[in-house]
Structure 1
Amino acid sequence: MGEVWFGRDNRLDRPVVVKFLQFPATGNKVEDVYTRRFLRESRITAHLEHPGVPAVYDVGTHKGRSYLVMQRIRGVSLRTLLAEEGRLPVGWVAAMAAQVCAVLSAAHRASLVHRDLKPGNLMLEPEGTVKVLDFGLAVAPALTDLSRITMTGHMMGTPEYMSPERIEANVSGPASDIYALGCTIHELLTGRRPFVGATPFDVMNKQVREEPPPLRFVRPEIPVGLEALVLEMLRKRPEERLADADVVHQLLLPFVDDLKPIPGVVDSPTASNGVRLYARVVSQMLAAGHRPATVGALAEGHAMTLRSEQADAYFADGDYRQAAAIYRLLAEDVAARYGPLSERALTYRSRVVTCHGLLGLTDQMSEELVGLIDDHTKVFGASDHRTVQLRRQFGLRRMGRVARDEVAEHQPAVPADLPRRQSAEATDLNDFVILRKPFRLNRRS
């Protein structure tokens, strides 16, 4: 849609980028749509003031062609970097993705959804900072004058990074940007797009119907927790996906490590410059008032504790969808480290089930309860109080489409003399609900 030129502002003596609107070989009606989209991109970019977004200096018309004057970014696009490197260091991918989350957080708070996140729209500067480009497809549901502009019969965007809900219903929200970022992280880590095909239709069909390939099959040194996070971002249903850029940002931080220089692209981390000096002071200010953000909190065990506390906070606030997503990540991470039948893994799985029950996802909850009951029976035995509590919970609910014979199969007779014990750590489903409900009710009152 645009033709980009490097230029110089003669009045203020500074380098700039000038983006001219370029029309396809079609009629006047399409030209009008493109002109309005171009103007909207200018206004959206100017509206979003953030260090990770290029500044807008001017907009106007020259010889009948609309133009946008923007800050010149001295760096390289991640698409170019990926082509040169094949795949990027894990620490740098986490660092760049966390910066993109910071931009998305500001955009989503301003009711803006980017809708076209991809490596080609991300620029890495020599200081290691990232700029998010091209808000030409963004939607602003809360701003009527910046509302979505599309052309009938045209799907706007890049199929390799489109979320299933965009493909099926042309519906976009913050979760759509998270999905696109998940596709981008997957590609930056593995050097391969998660979904490819001979035609755009093939790619979109795979986005909707196929699961993304596990990252560690391609690159085994990728941390288990990072792989789990990316796959969580790529869930097909937006209501099951991590939709909060702030949460994804926090979950990425533990993987920002070993940031070695990228020759010719990023300066050595020890090299001092104005941007890094400024960022260092801001980081220390934030760390002084929020200790979990310090470097010590990035230790593996401490990071997992922070994630658990974050999930508990979402649960206490009644945001069960986000809590379930983080608990699921923790369950997968713990299962990979200590085994799927470890007590901690079963604990987090139980909490996921609790959240799904409170969300009214009855079919999903029933299916998960069946698996939990089986695994608790294997580990603790049929008479253990944790197994019994789960069986009781399953029997009391009788929700969804679970057949009666399946319920009976997972509810063997309970010994009459079974002692009723309570877990001090609230590892079973019933205890967890009882402990957390008062906090949820207090927060909502």
Structure 2
Amino acid sequence: MGRRTLVNGRYELLQRPSEQGAMGEVWFGRDIRLDRQVVVKFIRFPAGDQAAENDYTRRFVRESRITAHLEHPGVPAVYDVGTHKGRPYLVMQRIRGVSLRTLLVEEGRLPIGWVAAVAAQVCAVLSAAHRASLIHRDLKPGNLMLEPEGTVKVLDFGLAVAPALSNSSLITVTGLMMGTPEYMAPERIESNVSGPASDIYALGCTIHELLTGRRPFAGATPFEVMNRQVRDEPPPLRQARPEVPVGLEALVLEMLRKRPEERLADADVVHQLLLAYVTDLAPIPGVVESPTTPNGVRLYARALSRMLAAGPRPVTVGAFTEGHVLTLRSEQADAFFADGDYRQAAAVYRLLADDVANRHGPLSERALTYRSRVATCHALLGLTDQMSEELAGLIDDHTKVFGPNDHRTVQLRRQFGLRRMGRAGPEGADEARPDIPTDLPRRQSAEATDLNEFVAVRRPFRLNRRS
């Protein structure tokens, strides 16, 4: 297409495409009717492959519909669709900013506070998308744009799965890998199954890369990368960057669990946990303006944040004390537990246990309480091996802190024996259960360390909410 090409008499294109990919090309342009800058995206068909051409067209139409359905400040707006010389096109909002892939090339790695701020904004987009039954399936630094105001746009919903839209979830493109192996969740590789947890996994890979400058799973070939995604554990964040907070490292590890049912998969919860690390947001020269620079977006956001902060649930934890942050997280975990979502509850309780252990020591009473709640969740999920391992560790640590005859230690030992009895029968349980003193006074634990006590307290709320 030459200079000053007009598409349907309305969209003036620049001389060269701003970006080219496997399926198409993106042009910067101008809407001469409304006199505004736009982006025009075209399909580029493979030569002589009618079947692939049809698949490309269907996928392109799907992307248009998906992006148009998803109205969110973090997603570019769709203005128009059409066909020009037999090629479908999509007209979208022009985003002025830099992709995080480009920023990584220039900076090597990003400030911790900015990584948390970017990821939290992505979670806000994922929350809206997942509520609309949309799974992005290709989150990565190259699909995230950072604007001068510090806001983030999530690009390219072309691979999104949208079960609520007819004929949208079964489209494939012959000969193309649907997604990027370096950010692809194990369940997608092994069984081509996508869900909210798949997006959270991709975001975990992205956070790891933004913090360290290196992808957690890399290889010489796509096959090697996918094999590592399925088999290898991610490298420790703090080994590559020691100043990363322990709690943030623990959060990323929860996002990168191999089994989706064990992964922290709720974008709202990940968003809330990330906010605690959104600190020290200094300007990024040439990319993000100084926070003191006035602009319409920041003025609007400032007014909105104050309005929401006046309500019962503040939207930011940046100014909260350590105790307030932990309380909010604990309430979130308790809410999951009350709703019967024990997997998500266990994930948040585990994060709380790690965070408290880092702040106050692994043998602090509160850390032990959260670990007990993790074991409770696993018991209710029927994860007997995990629960038994956790109880054994809790018994050892309670013995160190409170002594072998303390009622909390004895309760845990009793629970361990009862759980083993349920699994292996009375004989197996008798062999495994430690001796329990017969003269121990019967006392109640205010900390709900006993698993049965915690379940008894929480379960009525779950039953009432479901009735």
TM-score, scaled to structure 2: 0.91
2:118 to 83, 96, 105: 96
Q: Which of 21, 27, 39 in structure 2 is aligned with 1:17?
A: 39
Superposed CA deviations along residues 350-398 of structure 1, whole A, max 9, x for unmatched, are: 1011111112222322222222222222332322211221122122223
Q: Which residue is equivalent to 1:71?
A: 93
1:398 to 405, 412, 420: 420
Equivalent residue, structure 2, for 1:128: 150
Counterpart Cα distance in 1 of 2:364 and 2:210: 32
With over 3 angstroms needed to count, the CA separation of the structure-2 counterparts of 1:27 and 1:20, relative to structure 1, is same
- How many equivalent residue pairs? 445
Query: CA offset at residue 300 of structure 1?
Result: 2.6
2:403 alignment partner in structure 1: 381
TM-superposed CA distance for 1:294, in Å, is 5.0
CA shift digits 1:4-62 (9 cap, x unpaired)? 11000000000000111012346211111111111111111111111100011111111
State the SS of the aligned residue for 1:8: strand
1:408 shift after superposition: 4.3
Identify if the C-alpha distance between structure 1 residues 402 and 87 changes in structure 2 by more than 3 Å, giving closer, same or farther.
farther
Which residue is equivalent to 1:7?
29
Equivalent residues of 1:253, 1:298 under 8 A apart? no
In the alignment, does 2:200 pair up with 1:200? no
Output one character per residue of 1:277-304: Cα deviation in whole Å (capped at 9) or x when no partner. 1111111111111354355653333212
Match of 1:225 among 247, 258, 271: 247
Deviation by residue 1:66-110 (Cα, 9 ceiling, x = unmatched): 111110000000000011000001111111111101100110010
Q: Answer yes or no: is 1:327 the counterpart of 2:341.
A: no
Aligned AA for 1:187?
Answer: E
Alpha-carbon offset, residue 269 of structure 1:
0.6
1:35 to 54, 57, 60: 57
Gapped runs of 5+ residues in structure 1? Answer: none
Return the alpha-carbon distance in structure 2 between the equivalents of residues 289 and 18 of structure 1.
41
Task: State the alpha-carbon separation in 1 of the partners of residues 224 and 415 from structure 2.
Answer: 43
| 1:100/1:132 contact within 8 Å kept | yes
2:72–2:125 Cα contact (<8 Å) kept: yes
Please say if residues 108 and 174 of structure 1, whose CA atoms lie closer than 8 Å, have aligned partners that are also in contact.
Answer: yes
Matches within 5 A, 1:43-442: 43-151=65-173, 154-294=176-316, 297-398=319-420, 407-408=429-430, 410-442=432-464
Residue aligned with 2:80, SS:
strand
1:139 CA drift (Å): 0.2
1:220–1:404 distance in 2 versus 1, CA, 3 Å:
farther
In structure 2, C-alpha distance between the alignment counterparts of 1:89 and 1:80, rounded to whole Å: 15
Provide closer, same or farther for how the CA distance between residues 261 and 113 of structure 1 changes in structure 2, counting only shifts above 3 A: same
CA deviation vs aligned residue, 1:230-257 (integer Å, no higher than 9, x gap) = 1111111111111111111111111111
AA aligned to 1:82 is L
Looking at structure 1, the residues matched to 48 and 312 of structure 2 have their Cα atoms a distance apart, in angstroms, of 55
Contact 2:148 2:287 in 1 (8 A): yes
**In the aligned structure 2, how far is the partner of 1:178 from the partner of 1:148?**
22
Query: CA contact under 8 A between 1:347 and 1:428: conserved in structure 2?
Result: no
Percent of residue pairs bearing the same amino acid type: 83
Q: CA deviation at 1:405?
A: 8.1
Q: Which runs of 5+ in 2 are unaligned?
A: 1-22
Q: What is the rounded CA distance, in whole Å, between the counterparts of 1:436 and 1:159 in structure 2?
A: 41
Residues of 1 paired with 2:248 and 2:424: CA distance?
Answer: 34
Q: Distance in 1 between matches of 2:306 and 2:252?
A: 29
Does the Cα contact within 8 Å between 1:50 and 1:103 map onto a contact in 2? yes
Q: In the superposition, relative to structure 1, how do residues 25 and 428 fare at CA in structure 2: closer, same or farther (>3 Å)?
A: farther
Instruction: Report the Cα distance in structure 2 between the residues aligned to 1:272 and 1:228, rounded to whole angstroms.
Output: 36
Q: 1:314, 1:389 → 2: CA distance?
A: 25
Q: Secondary structure at the match of 2:83?
A: strand
TM-score, normalised to structure 1, is 0.96
Structure 1 stretch 428-437 or stretch 295-304: which is displaced more? 295-304
Query: Within 1, Cα distance between the matches of 2:236 and 2:431?
Result: 34
In structure 1, what is the Cα distance between the partners aligned to 2:426 and 2:371? Answer: 24
Change (3 A) 1:28 1:291: closer
- What's the secondary structure of 1:146's corresponding residue? coil
1:8, 1:16 within 8 Å by CA — same for their partners in 2?
yes
C-alpha distance in structure 2 between counterparts of 1:401 and 1:162, whole Å = 36
**Deviations for 1:145-174, whole angstroms, at most 9, x for unmatched residues?**
432411356531000000010011000000
Opposite residue 346 of structure 1, the aligned amino acid is L
8 Å CA contact retained: 1:164, 1:236: yes
Equivalent-residue separation in structure 1 for 2:305 and 2:390 (angstroms): 41
Q: Secondary structure at the match of 2:310?
A: helix
- Check 1:296–1:256 CA distance in 2 against 1; reply closer, same or farther (3 A cut): closer
